Amino acid sequence: MVAATSQTENPPRKPRNATRRHRPPFLTTTLLALGALVFLFPFYYMLIGSLQAEPDTSPSAVVPTSPFTLDNYSQINASVDLPRSLINSGIFTGGVILCTIVFGVLAGYALARLRFRGRGTLFATVLLVQVIPFQLLLIPLYVMIVRSYGLADNYLGMILPFAINTTAVFVFRQFFLQLPDDLFSAARIDGAGELGILRHIALPLVRPALLTVVLLTFIGPWNEFLWPFLVTKEADMQPLAVSLAGYISNVAARASNPYGAVLAGACVLAAPAIALFVAFQRYFLNTDIGSGVKG
């Protein structure tokens, strides 16, 4: 839908004045910093709340006066098998990312660069798929995966509904679409087959889009609660989001500081996602996803 929109701009008019003002944008930086602080405030609040022994709802609690304690975290550690949950989350998320990359690249490339029957229909479907609420498909999917395929308490059963992230296919398509045509026609003139072009030209170029896709895809399964929750009954199969939700809904209600326990759970769930994001954010550069929106 985006690719179809063409960019039309007026040709630049003749310069009247050739000097350019160049000031370091202090004001902009300050305003953006303020905005970022507002955006991050809930996380700060979450963190200090999780480090306190007694819940404090008053505004003065923004600047904590009481000493920090790790009690809330040790309570989680005592009732949730954190390393095991992390491994489960890792396998679930990793499986989804792997499938998305392998099959998503191929599908995205084909949608962008190859002409075959049904391409238009498929692309329309890609757009349609994003509109369908998961809750509508939930029970038929559950019956299919658990009853027909017997994949309850199985990593495959967890991964299957998320296996190929459609947004990722879309990003790959847009990425391949923006590569210069000459690249491909030159190879064809040299007599390269379609498979050869894919292997030697398209795939080596895909790296920047890959990181974007990994980060976009990561968020879904890492934070997903409802599906793995339905599919897993064995505690040692449950990903972090499910174990923590179980902890929050149940154990936390009995903790000495239920509010702090909930916040600590939230921090534990958020921390790996944020850490991963911060670690990779410098690769998460503008040009990568530029493909996704360029006309």
Given the rule CB under 8 A, which of 26-34, 65-73, 82-90, 203-211 is the region that contacts other proteins? 26-34
CB of 91 to other proteins, least distance (A): 18
Using CB under 8 A as the binding rule, whether residue 186 contacts other proteins is answered as: no
Print the binding letters for residues 248-277 with other proteins: x by CB under 8 A, - otherwise. Answer: -xxx-xx-x-xx--xx-xxx-xx--xx--x
Query: Tokens for 276?
Result: 């991963």
Using CB under 8 A as the binding rule, whether residue 65 contacts other proteins is answered as: no
Cβ-based nearer residue to other proteins, 68 or 277: 277
Write the DSSP assignment of 119-135 as a string of letters. HHHHHHHHHHHTTS-HH
Given the rule CB under 8 A, which of 69-77, 87-95, 119-127, 203-211 is the region that contacts other proteins? 119-127
Query: Tokens for 67?
Result: 């000493």
Write the single-letter amino acid at 15: P
The full length of the chain comes to 295
Using CB under 8 A as the binding rule, whether residue 156 contacts other proteins is answered as: no
CB of 87 to other proteins, least distance (A): 19
Using CB under 8 A as the binding rule, whether residue 280 contacts other proteins is answered as: no
Using CB under 8 A as the binding rule, whether residue 196 contacts other proteins is answered as: no
Given the rule CB under 8 A, which of 15-23, 69-77, 89-97, 179-187 is the region that contacts other proteins? 15-23
CB of 114 to other proteins, least distance (A): 3
Rounded CA gap, 216 and 68, in Å? 34
Interaction with other proteins in 27-46: which residues (CB under 8 A)?
Answer: 28-29, 31-33, 35-37, 39-40, 42-43, 45-46
Given the rule CB under 8 A, which of 64-72, 90-98, 125-133, 203-211 is the region that contacts other proteins? 125-133
Print the binding letters for residues 77-96 with other proteins: x by CB under 8 A, - otherwise. Answer: --x-----------------
CB of 55 to other proteins, least distance (A): 6
Using CB under 8 A as the binding rule, whether residue 57 contacts other proteins is answered as: yes
Contact residue for other proteins among 66, 74, 185, 281 (CB under 8 A): 281
Rounded CA gap, 56 and 47, in Å? 13
Using CB under 8 A as the binding rule, whether residue 180 contacts other proteins is answered as: no
Interaction with other proteins in 218-247: which residues (CB under 8 A)?
Answer: 219, 222-223, 225, 229-230, 233-235, 241, 245-246
Contact 130, 167 (CB under 8 A): yes
